[in-house]
């Protein structure tokens, strides 16, 4: 009954409640387009760094990595709905991600990649 009421009262706000009780009002189509535009702008900024990399010097790599992380997080949070879904999904994905990052940083360090 509570689920039906919520769905009736907010037909446009999102996609309603799930039976599990994890309330997640998903973004509207307009919001998704906004997110995509932001991602496009960041991608354009990344490409611009290719043409000005001499001027950026040692700041190039941190800037590119920061933009990469932001894009990654935005796609995961909004398009993959991690922001709106159960924390268990986030924990599961982030665990695998952190494990991969940790293991391969160790591998790269072993082969003196950063020297």
CB of 23 to other proteins, least distance (A): 10
- The Cα–Cα gap between 59 and 42 comes to 16
- The Cα–Cα gap between 49 and 86 comes to 37
CB of 57 to other proteins, least distance (A): 13
Site residues (CB under 8 A) for other proteins?
1-4, 7, 15-22, 26, 28-29, 32-33, 35-36, 39-40, 43, 46-47, 49-50, 60-61, 64-65, 67-68, 71-72, 75-76, 78-81, 86, 88-89, 92-93, 95-97, 99-101, 103-104, 107-108, 111, 113
Contacts of 32 (CB under 8 A, 6+ apart): 78, 79
Nearer to other proteins, 9 or 111 (CB): 111
CB of 83 to other proteins, least distance (A): 13
Using CA of residue 11, residue 12, residue 17, residue 18, what is the dihedral sign? positive
Nearest CA-CA partner of 27 in 77, 70, 102: 77
């Amino acid at each position: 009954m509570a689920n039906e009421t919520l769905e009736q009262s907010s037909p446009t706000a999102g996609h309603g409640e799930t039976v599990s009780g994890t309330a997640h009002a998903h973004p509207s189509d307009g919001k998704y387009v906004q997110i995509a535009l932001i991602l496009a702008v960041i991608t354009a900024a990344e490409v611009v760094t290719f043409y000005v990399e001499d001027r950026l010097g040692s700041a190039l790599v941190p800037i590119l990595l920061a933009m990469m992380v932001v894009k990654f997080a935005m796609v995961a949070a909004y398009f993959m709905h991690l922001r709106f879904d159960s924390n268990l999904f986030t924990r599961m994905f982030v665990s695998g991600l952190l494990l991969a990052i940790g293991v391969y940083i160790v591998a790269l360090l072993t082969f003196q990649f950063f020297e």
